[in-house]
């Protein structure tokens, strides 16, 4: 086991080195060239002007605003802000300025098993694609079978490479079972695949401690399984979901207690039934999916301030497979729409969580239009990716990201039009700044010193 761990670490280091070399020499499409200027924001005062600014707290659009920035932080916001004569002014004209978006559930590592250096390279590229799409803060909520997202987070934090702000969960506890696993070839080969399977409350605590040991910010728990033998998958013919609980309430309570006392947050993959109820009763921090949320569960989530995450990337095409199984009665998408409406009725917090997988990163803003189609106002849809998502982040990051306010990071994006009039504007982010450094600019001429090397101009 020790040799395996050393080999895994060496492979991750190799992967990150390869990422830096390739980025510096080859120049991936839309990925910035290697250099040192992404590590430190520029000195001096920067002022961003725009016709409109979205107030993420109030959900309103403000006119003729100025955002004043010193290094990586916002120092003032308003229509009457005095701009120092020596400030560098970025005039975005008729654009709308918004905070950098937050995606609280995605996966930058591929689901297939390839070499670890390759997966690390690709995961870094996917993380960067999110930033260029306007998602300047992300939560990787399961590294699949690797710890790579944690190392990528560390590399970004230490200035080895550029990318979004990241929190990461590492491998998940009790990996999801969509269908039964292949039977082992021999009796000696029996056992659970992987290492993070729970069998009792003390082993559950051990799994959390292991994640903490390797630097995870989050614990991702798969609390429901989607099959029963070879008979049912996802649904039974009567339209009820298959939600076999993966862990007991006692095991869930042990993980929540251990995670919280060690400074971690916990997210539950749970579609419904006993598994979902166990997550809520134990007091996890957010629920992924929650398709069969009952009124009772919704009330408990609102009372405990547990956020719901709709993960539309995972749900949008489910009618194709679900409707034949249920005789046209129901699908995971139709249940998601019901859960969204129920969340509004009972006041359950909503955090933007796309469940985006590789090759789609940076494009997940299409989900805002679906939120509006399913019952949210444009302002409510936007707020899910600002303070709605910021409030679930670990370490109290809501005081650093999620809105354009003095003291917060200068994570600023812009679109050409008004997203309250046309929510699809969020799919066309034209300007991205993270911590005072411009990563993408398609709107105006700005001094080269404000831009990371090779940025989109």
Q: What is the CATH number of the domain that holds 420?
A: 2.30.40.10
- 392 shares its domain with 409: no
Per the model's pLDDT, the better-predicted residue between 272 and 226 turns out to be: 272
Q: Which of 81, 198, 220 is nearest to 143 (CA)?
A: 220
Instruction: Look at residues 357, 382, 399 and tell me which one is the last residue of a structural domain.
Output: 399
Contact assessment for residue 407 and residue 83, using Cβ atoms and an 8 Å cutoff:
no
pLDDT confidence tier of residue 117, bands split at 50, 70 and 90: confident
Q: Rounded distance, CA 274 to CA 332, Å?
A: 17
What pLDDT is attached to residue 451?
Answer: 72
- 80 shares its domain with 165: no
Q: Which residues are registered as beta bridge partners of 288?
A: 269, 309
Dihedral (C-alpha) 337, 340, 341, 345: value to the nearest 10 degrees?
A: 160
pLDDT confidence tier of residue 452, bands split at 50, 70 and 90: low
- Which range (84-98, 172-186, 298-312) has the least confidence? 172-186
- 300 shares its domain with 341: yes
What pLDDT is attached to residue 3?
Answer: 42
Mean pLDDT score of the chain, rounded to an integer?
A: 87
- 310 shares its domain with 436: no
For residue 198, being part of any structural domain is answered with yes
For residue 10, being part of any structural domain is answered with no
Contact assessment for residue 410 and residue 41, using Cβ atoms and an 8 Å cutoff:
yes
Question: Does 6 score more than 60 pLDDT?
Answer: no
- 386 shares its domain with 281: yes
Q: Rounded distance, CA 264 to CA 216, Å?
A: 8
pTM: 0.89
Domain span including residue 305: 101-399
- 143 shares its domain with 195: yes
For residue 119, being part of any structural domain is answered with yes
- 76 shares its domain with 178: no
- 348 shares its domain with 440: no
> CA-CA distances (angstroms) from residue 158 to 40, 254, 450?
11, 33, 20
- 128 shares its domain with 241: yes
Q: Which residues are registered as beta bridge partners of 432?
A: 413, 440
E strands, 71-200, where?
73-78, 88-91, 96-99, 101-106, 135-140, 165-168
Q: Which of 407, 435, 410, 447 is nearest to 89 (CA)?
A: 447
- Sign for the pseudo-dihedral over CA of 124, 130, 134, 136: negative
> CA-CA distances (angstroms) from residue 419 to 53, 98, 160, 303, 437?
11, 10, 35, 31, 24
For residue 1, being part of any structural domain is answered with no
Residue 62 DSSP class? E
Question: How many separate domains does the chain show?
Answer: 2
- Which range (25-39, 67-81, 400-414) has the least confidence? 25-39
For residue 110, being part of any structural domain is answered with yes
First to last CA, the chain: 48
């Amino acid at each position: 086991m020790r040799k395996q761990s050393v080999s895994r670490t060496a492979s991750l280091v190799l992967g990150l080195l390869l990422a830096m070399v390739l980025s510096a020499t080859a120049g991936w499409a839309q990925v910035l060239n290697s250099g040192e200027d992404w590590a430190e924001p520029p000195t001096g005062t920067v002022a961003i002007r725009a016709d409109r600014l979205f107030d993420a707290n109030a959900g309103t659009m403000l006119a003729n605003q100025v955002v004043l920035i010193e290094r990586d932080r916002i120092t003032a916001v308003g229509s009457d802000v005095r701009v120092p004569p020596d400030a560098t002014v970025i005039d975005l004209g008729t654009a709308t300025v918004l905070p950098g978006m937050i995606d609280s559930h995605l996966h930058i590592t591929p689901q297939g098993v390839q070499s670890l250096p390759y997966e690390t390279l690709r995961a870094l590229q996917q993380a960067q694609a999110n930033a260029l799409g306007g998602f300047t803060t992300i939560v990787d909520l399961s590294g699949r079978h690797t710890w790579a997202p944690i190392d990528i987070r560390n590399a970004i934090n230490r200035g080895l490479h550029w990318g979004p702000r990241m929190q990461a969960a590492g491998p998940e506890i009790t990996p999801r079972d969509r269908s039964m696993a292949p039977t082992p070839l021999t009796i000696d080969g029996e056992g659970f695949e992987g290492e993070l399977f729970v069998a009792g409350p003390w082993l559950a605590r051990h799994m959390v401690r292991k994640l903490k040991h390797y630097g995870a910010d989050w614990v991702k728990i798969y609390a429901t399984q989607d099959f029963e033998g070879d008979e049912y998958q996802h649904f039974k013919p009567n339209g009820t979901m298959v939600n076999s609980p993966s862990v007991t309430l006692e095991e869930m309570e042990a993980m929540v207690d251990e995670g919280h006392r060690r400074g971690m947050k916990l997210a539950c993959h749970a579609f419904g039934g006993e598994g979902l109820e166990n997550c809520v009763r134990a007091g996890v921090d957010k629920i992924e999916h929650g398709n069969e949320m009952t009124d009772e569960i919704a009330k408990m989530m609102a009372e405990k301030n547990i956020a719901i995450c709709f993960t539309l990337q995972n749900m949008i095409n489910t009618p194709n497979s679900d409707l034949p199984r249920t005789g046209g009665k129901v699908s995971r998408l139709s249940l998601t729409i019901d859960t969204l409406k129920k969340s509004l009725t009972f006041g359950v917090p909503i955090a933007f969580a796309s469940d985006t997988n590789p090759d789609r990163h940076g494009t997940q803003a299409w989900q805002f239009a679906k939120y509006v189609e399913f019952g949210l106002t444009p302002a409510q849809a936007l707020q899910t990716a600002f303070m709605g998502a910021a409030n679930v982040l670990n370490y109290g990051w809501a005081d650093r990201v999620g809105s354009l306010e003095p003291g917060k990071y200068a994570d600023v994006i812009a679109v050409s039009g008004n997203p309250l009039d046309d929510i699809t504007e969020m799919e066309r982010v034209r300007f991205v700044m993270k911590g005072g450094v411009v990563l993408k600019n398609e709107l105006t001429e700005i001094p080269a010193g404000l831009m990371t090397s090779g940025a989109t101009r």
